[in-house]
């Protein structure tokens, strides 16, 4: 086969492969670690929302392997949490709330004295609802961060990737019940490790993200489905 024919064949194969990769990305979407796990069954009316700071799981439990969410009971694998992670998630959530909703936002104080890993989920929601009543709000938004580990390395080559896990819950003050919940739990993977994450890999610029970038990606997906 001549060099010209060989080059043409290689060019054709490359185009074909790129086409299949594009179709694959469309079929599987972003495939991020962000999921809304509970949606309101009926339309809700929200005018004022109390947003509490994210809770750092490492300050709530001595267990360094896993932790049960105080609000929903789901168990998360815990890990390193970078300094300032809880504040970063809180600030980003408020910015996204302002972008996606018209709710009046009341920023609350930390509830470490009210939320612990050892109480029942019913008790946790009752305490959160009570805090909402104190601030005359319709709902309370609270979150917990279980991992927030930054990448070791650069954007196009890492020794270890970023890993982030958190969840969020919207509690209706009237009735002290959860009306919306979401989780984000992801350790970034290469295409060689998980081809099903092609969509998210391409949407993120084909590079390794920092923990803040990974968390922001998850929050943006979550708040697209936040109750209006």
Given this model, what pLDDT does residue 1 score? Answer: 55
For residues 26 and 37, membership in a common domain is answered with no
For residue 103, being part of any structural domain is answered with yes
| Domain interval for residue 41 | 33-223
Given this model, what pLDDT does residue 42 score? Answer: 72
For residue 228, being part of any structural domain is answered with no
For residues 54 and 132, membership in a common domain is answered with yes
Print pLDDT tens along the chain (228 aa): 555 555 554 544 444 444 444 443 333 334 578 999 998 877 778 899 999 999 998 888 777 788 999 999 999 999 999 999 999 999 999 999 999 999 999 999 877 655 666 678 999 999 999 999 999 999 999 999 999 999 999 877 778 999 999 999 999 999 999 999 999 999 987 544 444 455 555 556 668 899 999 999 999 999 999 988
Given this model, what pLDDT does residue 221 score? Answer: 93
For residues 151 and 181, membership in a common domain is answered with yes
pTM for the structure as a whole = 0.80
For residues 82 and 65, membership in a common domain is answered with yes
For residues 79 and 189, membership in a common domain is answered with yes
**What's the total number of domains in the chain?**
2
Which residue reads 């019940």 in tokens? 177
For residues 19 and 67, membership in a common domain is answered with no
Given this model, what pLDDT does residue 108 score? Answer: 94
For residues 25 and 105, membership in a common domain is answered with no
For residues 145 and 125, membership in a common domain is answered with yes
Residues 6+ apart with CB under 8 A from 136: 48
Give the Å distances, CA to CA, from 153 to 185, 197, 204, 214, 217: 21, 20, 17, 15, 19
For residue 111, being part of any structural domain is answered with yes
Mutual angle of helices 85-100 and 211-223, in 10-degree steps? 30
For residue 132, being part of any structural domain is answered with yes
For residue 91, being part of any structural domain is answered with yes
For residues 8 and 64, membership in a common domain is answered with no
Q: DSSP string spanning 61-114? A: -S-SSEEE-TTT--EEE---B-TTHHHHHHHHHHHHHHHH--PEEEE----TTT
Which residue reads 């972003």 in tokens? 30
For residues 7 and 101, membership in a common domain is answered with no
For residue 205, being part of any structural domain is answered with yes
For residues 57 and 162, membership in a common domain is answered with yes
For residues 161 and 93, membership in a common domain is answered with yes
């Amino acid at each position: 086969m001549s060099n010209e024919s060989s080059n043409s064949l290689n060019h054709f194969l490359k185009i074909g492969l790129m086409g299949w990769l594009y179709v694959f990305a469309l079929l599987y979407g972003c495939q991020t670690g962000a999921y809304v796990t509970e949606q309101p069954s009926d339309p809700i009316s929200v005018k004022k929302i109390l947003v509490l700071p994210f809770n750092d799981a490492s300050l709530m439990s001595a267990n360094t392997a896993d932790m049960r969410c105080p609000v929903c009971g789901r168990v998360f694998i815990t890990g390193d949490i970078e300094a300032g992670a809880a504040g970063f998630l809180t600030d980003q959530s408020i910015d996204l709330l302002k972008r996606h909703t018209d709710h009046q936002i009341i920023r609350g104080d930390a509830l470490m004295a009210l939320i612990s890993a050892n109480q029942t989920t019913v008790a946790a929601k009752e305490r959160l609802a009570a805090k909402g009543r104190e601030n005359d709000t319709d709902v309370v938004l609270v979150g917990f961060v279980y991992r927030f580990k930054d990448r070791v390395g650069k954007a196009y080559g890492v020794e270890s990737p970023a890993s982030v896990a958190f969840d969020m819950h919207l509690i209706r003050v009237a009735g002290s019940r959860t009306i919306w919940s979401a989780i984000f739990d992801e350790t970034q993977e290469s295409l060689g490790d998980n081809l099903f994450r092609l969509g998210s890999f391409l949407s993120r610029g084909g590079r390794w993200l920092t923990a803040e970038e990974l968390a922001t990606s998850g929050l943006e997906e979550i708040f697209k489905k936040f109750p209006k």
